[in-house]
Amino acid sequence: MTTDRQETPAALAEHTQEDKGAGTATDAQAPRPLLEIEDLRVDFHGRRGITHAVRGLSLSMGREKIGIVGESGSGKSVTGRSILRLIRPPGVVRARRMVFDGIDLLSADERTMRAIRGDRIAMIMQDPKFSLNPVMRVGDQIAEAFRVHRRVSRREAKERALEMLKAVRIRDPERVYHAWPHELSGGMGQRVMIAMMLIPEPDLLIADEPTSALDVTVAMQVLAIMDDLVSSRGMGLMFISHDLDLVASFCDRVIIMYAGRVMEVIEAKRLHEAQHPYTRGLLASLPRIDEPREWLQTLKRDPAWLEEA
Protein backbone atom coordinates (compact mmCIF):
# COMPACT_ATOMS: atom_id res chain seq x y z
CA MET A 1 0.00 0.00 0.00
CA THR A 2 1.35 3.38 -0.88
CA THR A 3 0.68 6.28 1.39
CA ASP A 4 2.35 9.60 1.89
CA ARG A 5 1.35 9.59 5.51
CA GLN A 6 4.18 9.74 7.96
CA GLU A 7 3.52 7.03 10.42
CA THR A 8 5.46 6.78 13.60
CA PRO A 9 6.89 3.37 14.39
CA ALA A 10 4.54 3.26 17.37
CA ALA A 11 1.51 3.88 15.16
CA LEU A 12 2.65 1.19 12.74
CA ALA A 13 3.21 -1.22 15.58
CA GLU A 14 -0.28 -0.52 16.73
CA HIS A 15 -1.74 -1.38 13.30
CA THR A 16 0.02 -4.72 13.25
CA GLN A 17 -0.91 -5.41 16.79
CA GLU A 18 -4.55 -4.74 16.14
CA ASP A 19 -4.46 -6.81 12.96
CA LYS A 20 -3.34 -9.81 14.93
CA GLY A 21 -5.69 -9.07 17.77
CA ALA A 22 -4.22 -7.19 20.69
CA GLY A 23 -2.15 -8.81 23.36
CA THR A 24 0.91 -10.52 21.90
CA ALA A 25 3.63 -11.53 24.32
CA THR A 26 5.92 -8.73 23.13
CA ASP A 27 3.45 -5.98 24.03
CA ALA A 28 4.96 -3.74 26.62
CA GLN A 29 1.60 -2.09 27.12
CA ALA A 30 -1.95 -2.27 25.85
CA PRO A 31 -2.56 -0.38 22.57
CA ARG A 32 -3.61 3.16 23.23
CA PRO A 33 -7.11 4.11 22.13
CA LEU A 34 -7.47 5.83 18.77
CA LEU A 35 -9.62 8.58 20.19
CA GLU A 36 -10.21 9.64 23.76
CA ILE A 37 -12.62 12.37 24.78
CA GLU A 38 -13.22 13.44 28.35
CA ASP A 39 -15.94 15.86 29.37
CA LEU A 40 -16.57 17.56 26.03
CA ARG A 41 -18.79 20.61 26.30
CA VAL A 42 -19.97 22.73 23.39
CA ASP A 43 -21.99 25.90 23.89
CA PHE A 44 -23.42 28.25 21.29
CA HIS A 45 -23.84 31.80 22.48
CA GLY A 46 -26.80 33.40 20.78
CA ARG A 47 -28.85 36.52 21.23
CA ARG A 48 -31.51 34.56 23.04
CA GLY A 49 -29.08 32.85 25.40
CA ILE A 50 -26.79 29.84 25.38
CA THR A 51 -27.50 26.50 23.72
CA HIS A 52 -25.68 23.71 25.50
CA ALA A 53 -25.25 21.44 22.50
CA VAL A 54 -22.91 18.95 24.18
CA ARG A 55 -22.80 18.65 27.98
CA GLY A 56 -19.96 16.53 29.28
CA LEU A 57 -19.51 13.78 26.72
CA SER A 58 -16.77 11.22 27.32
CA LEU A 59 -15.82 8.35 25.07
CA SER A 60 -12.86 6.19 24.20
CA MET A 61 -12.70 4.25 20.97
CA GLY A 62 -10.29 2.00 19.14
CA ARG A 63 -10.24 0.82 15.55
CA GLU A 64 -13.84 -0.28 15.76
CA LYS A 65 -17.28 0.74 14.57
CA ILE A 66 -18.99 2.98 17.07
CA GLY A 67 -22.57 4.02 16.42
CA ILE A 68 -23.95 7.29 17.78
CA VAL A 69 -27.72 7.50 17.99
CA GLY A 70 -30.11 9.96 19.55
CA GLU A 71 -32.98 12.14 18.45
CA SER A 72 -32.58 15.29 16.40
CA GLY A 73 -30.68 18.03 18.23
CA SER A 74 -29.02 15.68 20.72
CA GLY A 75 -25.54 16.88 19.70
CA LYS A 76 -24.33 14.11 17.39
CA SER A 77 -23.10 16.31 14.52
CA VAL A 78 -21.63 18.93 16.87
CA THR A 79 -19.63 16.17 18.58
CA GLY A 80 -18.25 15.02 15.23
CA ARG A 81 -17.34 18.53 14.16
CA SER A 82 -15.70 19.28 17.53
CA ILE A 83 -13.26 16.40 17.03
CA LEU A 84 -12.03 18.08 13.83
CA ARG A 85 -12.11 21.50 15.51
CA LEU A 86 -14.65 22.73 12.97
CA ILE A 87 -16.85 24.59 15.46
CA ARG A 88 -16.62 28.31 14.81
CA PRO A 89 -17.64 31.21 17.05
CA PRO A 90 -20.16 31.79 18.56
CA GLY A 91 -19.59 28.14 19.37
CA VAL A 92 -17.26 27.43 22.29
CA VAL A 93 -15.65 24.01 22.73
CA ARG A 94 -14.16 22.87 26.01
CA ALA A 95 -12.95 19.47 27.15
CA ARG A 96 -10.77 18.01 29.85
CA ARG A 97 -9.05 15.85 27.28
CA MET A 98 -9.35 15.19 23.56
CA VAL A 99 -6.56 13.03 22.16
CA PHE A 100 -6.35 11.36 18.75
CA ASP A 101 -3.63 8.72 18.36
CA GLY A 102 -1.41 10.50 20.87
CA ILE A 103 -2.04 13.99 19.43
CA ASP A 104 -3.68 16.49 21.75
CA LEU A 105 -6.46 17.98 19.62
CA LEU A 106 -7.13 20.74 22.14
CA SER A 107 -3.68 22.28 21.94
CA ALA A 108 -2.65 21.32 18.37
CA ASP A 109 -1.90 24.32 16.16
CA GLU A 110 -3.86 24.99 12.97
CA ARG A 111 -1.11 23.54 10.80
CA THR A 112 -1.27 20.23 12.65
CA MET A 113 -5.06 20.28 12.44
CA ARG A 114 -4.96 20.84 8.68
CA ALA A 115 -2.65 17.86 8.33
CA ILE A 116 -5.05 15.73 10.36
CA ARG A 117 -8.25 16.82 8.65
CA GLY A 118 -9.13 14.79 5.63
CA ASP A 119 -5.97 12.74 5.89
CA ARG A 120 -5.95 11.00 9.25
CA ILE A 121 -9.50 11.89 10.31
CA ALA A 122 -12.10 12.31 7.58
CA MET A 123 -15.70 13.34 8.05
CA ILE A 124 -18.64 12.70 5.78
CA MET A 125 -20.88 15.65 6.52
CA GLN A 126 -24.60 15.26 7.02
CA ASP A 127 -25.32 17.43 3.98
CA PRO A 128 -22.73 16.40 1.40
CA LYS A 129 -23.64 19.13 -1.08
CA PHE A 130 -22.12 21.77 1.17
CA SER A 131 -18.86 19.87 1.24
CA LEU A 132 -18.27 19.77 -2.51
CA ASN A 133 -16.80 22.72 -4.37
CA PRO A 134 -19.74 24.01 -6.47
CA VAL A 135 -17.55 25.37 -9.29
CA MET A 136 -15.45 22.27 -9.88
CA ARG A 137 -16.57 19.16 -11.75
CA VAL A 138 -17.20 16.17 -9.47
CA GLY A 139 -14.58 13.95 -11.07
CA ASP A 140 -11.90 16.62 -10.93
CA GLN A 141 -12.49 16.97 -7.19
CA ILE A 142 -12.09 13.25 -6.62
CA ALA A 143 -9.02 13.12 -8.87
CA GLU A 144 -7.50 16.01 -6.97
CA ALA A 145 -8.00 14.12 -3.71
CA PHE A 146 -5.95 11.29 -5.21
CA ARG A 147 -3.24 13.68 -6.37
CA VAL A 148 -2.98 15.36 -2.99
CA HIS A 149 -3.17 12.27 -0.81
CA ARG A 150 -1.58 9.63 -3.00
CA ARG A 151 0.76 11.65 -5.23
CA VAL A 152 -0.22 9.97 -8.48
CA SER A 153 -0.06 11.33 -12.04
CA ARG A 154 -2.97 13.24 -13.54
CA ARG A 155 -3.91 10.30 -15.74
CA GLU A 156 -3.74 7.78 -12.95
CA ALA A 157 -5.76 10.09 -10.71
CA LYS A 158 -8.56 10.15 -13.27
CA GLU A 159 -8.55 6.37 -13.60
CA ARG A 160 -8.58 5.89 -9.85
CA ALA A 161 -11.40 8.45 -9.48
CA LEU A 162 -13.52 6.53 -11.99
CA GLU A 163 -12.76 3.29 -10.13
CA MET A 164 -13.79 4.94 -6.86
CA LEU A 165 -17.10 6.07 -8.40
CA LYS A 166 -17.70 2.48 -9.48
CA ALA A 167 -16.80 1.24 -6.01
CA VAL A 168 -19.58 3.33 -4.48
CA ARG A 169 -21.94 1.83 -7.06
CA ILE A 170 -22.40 4.85 -9.34
CA ARG A 171 -23.83 3.32 -12.48
CA ASP A 172 -22.54 5.78 -15.06
CA PRO A 173 -19.15 6.92 -13.67
CA GLU A 174 -18.09 8.80 -16.83
CA ARG A 175 -21.19 10.96 -16.75
CA VAL A 176 -20.93 11.65 -13.01
CA TYR A 177 -17.21 12.39 -13.41
CA HIS A 178 -18.05 15.30 -15.70
CA ALA A 179 -21.10 16.50 -13.72
CA TRP A 180 -21.25 19.61 -11.60
CA PRO A 181 -22.17 19.10 -7.92
CA HIS A 182 -25.60 20.75 -8.37
CA GLU A 183 -26.48 18.14 -11.00
CA LEU A 184 -26.20 15.27 -8.52
CA SER A 185 -29.13 13.74 -6.68
CA GLY A 186 -28.89 13.56 -2.88
CA GLY A 187 -27.92 9.90 -2.96
CA MET A 188 -25.26 10.46 -5.63
CA GLY A 189 -23.81 13.40 -3.70
CA GLN A 190 -23.60 11.21 -0.63
CA ARG A 191 -21.79 8.48 -2.54
CA VAL A 192 -19.35 10.97 -4.08
CA MET A 193 -18.54 12.29 -0.60
CA ILE A 194 -18.03 8.77 0.72
CA ALA A 195 -15.67 8.06 -2.18
CA MET A 196 -13.69 11.23 -1.52
CA MET A 197 -13.39 10.63 2.19
CA LEU A 198 -12.15 7.08 1.73
CA ILE A 199 -9.33 8.02 -0.69
CA PRO A 200 -6.79 9.06 1.97
CA GLU A 201 -7.61 5.85 3.89
CA PRO A 202 -8.09 7.76 7.12
CA ASP A 203 -7.44 6.23 10.52
CA LEU A 204 -10.75 7.55 11.74
CA LEU A 205 -13.83 8.18 9.63
CA ILE A 206 -16.66 10.20 11.12
CA ALA A 207 -19.70 9.44 9.00
CA ASP A 208 -22.68 11.67 9.79
CA GLU A 209 -25.82 9.96 8.47
CA PRO A 210 -23.81 8.78 5.46
CA THR A 211 -26.48 6.57 3.98
CA SER A 212 -29.69 8.45 4.82
CA ALA A 213 -30.37 9.44 1.17
CA LEU A 214 -29.56 6.02 -0.28
CA ASP A 215 -31.81 3.10 -1.20
CA VAL A 216 -31.48 0.15 1.14
CA THR A 217 -29.49 -1.94 -1.34
CA VAL A 218 -27.02 0.85 -2.16
CA ALA A 219 -26.75 1.74 1.53
CA MET A 220 -25.81 -1.87 2.27
CA GLN A 221 -23.15 -1.86 -0.47
CA VAL A 222 -21.66 1.40 0.80
CA LEU A 223 -21.64 0.04 4.37
CA ALA A 224 -19.84 -3.04 3.10
CA ILE A 225 -17.09 -0.82 1.63
CA MET A 226 -16.67 0.97 4.96
CA ASP A 227 -16.76 -2.31 6.84
CA ASP A 228 -14.01 -3.63 4.62
CA LEU A 229 -11.78 -0.64 5.40
CA VAL A 230 -12.37 -1.05 9.11
CA SER A 231 -11.28 -4.68 9.04
CA SER A 232 -8.59 -4.56 6.35
CA ARG A 233 -6.87 -1.33 7.30
CA GLY A 234 -7.88 -1.05 10.92
CA MET A 235 -9.84 2.16 10.49
CA GLY A 236 -12.00 3.47 13.33
CA LEU A 237 -15.51 4.44 12.30
CA MET A 238 -17.83 6.80 14.12
CA PHE A 239 -21.18 6.15 12.53
CA ILE A 240 -23.86 8.75 13.30
CA SER A 241 -27.34 7.56 12.47
CA HIS A 242 -31.02 7.73 13.27
CA ASP A 243 -31.47 4.13 12.25
CA LEU A 244 -31.28 1.99 15.38
CA ASP A 245 -31.74 -1.29 13.54
CA LEU A 246 -28.96 -0.45 11.10
CA VAL A 247 -26.58 0.58 13.89
CA ALA A 248 -27.45 -2.56 15.89
CA SER A 249 -26.52 -4.81 12.99
CA PHE A 250 -23.55 -2.84 11.60
CA CYS A 251 -21.63 -1.45 14.59
CA ASP A 252 -19.64 -2.97 17.43
CA ARG A 253 -20.78 -0.58 20.15
CA VAL A 254 -23.47 2.07 20.34
CA ILE A 255 -23.52 5.37 22.20
CA ILE A 256 -26.97 6.68 22.98
CA MET A 257 -27.11 10.47 23.27
CA TYR A 258 -29.79 12.68 24.69
CA ALA A 259 -29.54 16.47 25.01
CA GLY A 260 -25.77 16.53 24.61
CA ARG A 261 -25.08 13.72 27.06
CA VAL A 262 -24.26 10.06 26.80
CA MET A 263 -27.16 8.12 28.25
CA GLU A 264 -25.70 4.71 27.70
CA VAL A 265 -22.90 2.84 25.88
CA ILE A 266 -23.91 -0.65 24.88
CA GLU A 267 -22.66 -3.52 22.74
CA ALA A 268 -24.49 -3.21 19.41
CA LYS A 269 -25.78 -6.74 19.39
CA ARG A 270 -27.36 -6.13 22.79
CA LEU A 271 -28.99 -2.83 21.80
CA HIS A 272 -32.44 -4.35 21.70
CA GLU A 273 -32.02 -5.55 25.29
CA ALA A 274 -31.00 -2.08 26.54
CA GLN A 275 -32.34 -1.23 29.99
CA HIS A 276 -31.96 2.55 30.07
CA PRO A 277 -35.45 4.10 29.90
CA TYR A 278 -34.41 6.57 27.18
CA THR A 279 -32.98 3.81 24.99
CA ARG A 280 -36.10 1.73 25.61
CA GLY A 281 -38.16 4.73 24.55
CA LEU A 282 -36.14 5.18 21.36
CA LEU A 283 -36.55 1.50 20.52
CA ALA A 284 -40.27 1.59 21.27
CA SER A 285 -40.82 4.60 19.02
CA LEU A 286 -39.52 2.71 15.99
CA PRO A 287 -42.27 1.69 13.61
CA ARG A 288 -42.25 -2.06 13.01
CA ILE A 289 -43.81 -4.02 10.19
CA ASP A 290 -43.66 -7.33 12.01
CA GLU A 291 -45.35 -6.02 15.15
CA PRO A 292 -47.91 -3.36 14.20
CA ARG A 293 -48.83 -0.99 17.01
CA GLU A 294 -51.97 1.06 17.19
CA TRP A 295 -50.00 4.20 17.83
CA LEU A 296 -46.34 4.99 18.12
CA GLN A 297 -45.18 5.73 21.61
CA THR A 298 -43.91 9.21 22.31
CA LEU A 299 -40.55 9.42 24.01
CA LYS A 300 -40.57 9.91 27.75
CA ARG A 301 -37.80 12.09 29.10
CA ASP A 302 -36.67 12.42 32.68
CA PRO A 303 -35.25 15.82 33.78
CA ALA A 304 -32.85 13.88 36.02
CA TRP A 305 -30.96 12.71 32.88
CA LEU A 306 -29.80 16.27 32.35
CA GLU A 307 -28.28 16.62 35.80
CA GLU A 308 -24.55 16.53 36.31
CA ALA A 309 -23.37 13.11 37.38
Task: Report the Cα–Cα distance between both ends of the chain, in Å, rounded.
Answer: 46
Nearer to ligand ATP, 44 or 227 (CB): 44
Q: How far is the CB of 74 from ligand ATP (least distance, A)?
A: 4
Contact letters for Mg ion, residues 59-88 (x by CB under 5 A): ------------------x-----------
CB contact at 8 A, 246 and 65: no
89 binds ligand ATP per the rule CB under 6 A: no
- Nearest to 167, CA basis, from 147, 183, 191: 191
The number of C-alpha atoms within 13 Å of 249 and in the hemisphere containing its C-beta is: 6
Torsion-angle region of 107 (φ positive above 0: left; ψ -120 to 50: alpha; else: beta): alpha
The distance from CA 212 to its chain's CA centroid, rounded to whole angstroms, is: 13
200 binds ligand ATP per the rule CB under 6 A: no
User: Interface with Mg ion by CB under 5 A: which range of 120-128, 160-168, 270-278, 279-287?
Assistant: 120-128
190 binds ligand ATP per the rule CB under 6 A: no
Residues binding Mg ion: number (CB under 5 A): 2
Residue 53 touches which of Mg ion, ligand ATP, none (CB < 5 to 8 A by kind)? ligand ATP
Q: How far is the CB of 138 from ligand ATP (least distance, A)?
A: 25
Contact letters for ligand ATP, residues 50-79 (x by CB under 6 A): -x-x----------------x-xxxxxxx-
Q: How far is the CB of 73 from ligand ATP (least distance, A)?
A: 4
CB contact burial 250-288 (16+ within 10 A = b; e otherwise): bbbbbbbbbbbbbbbebebeebeebeeebbbbbbeeeee
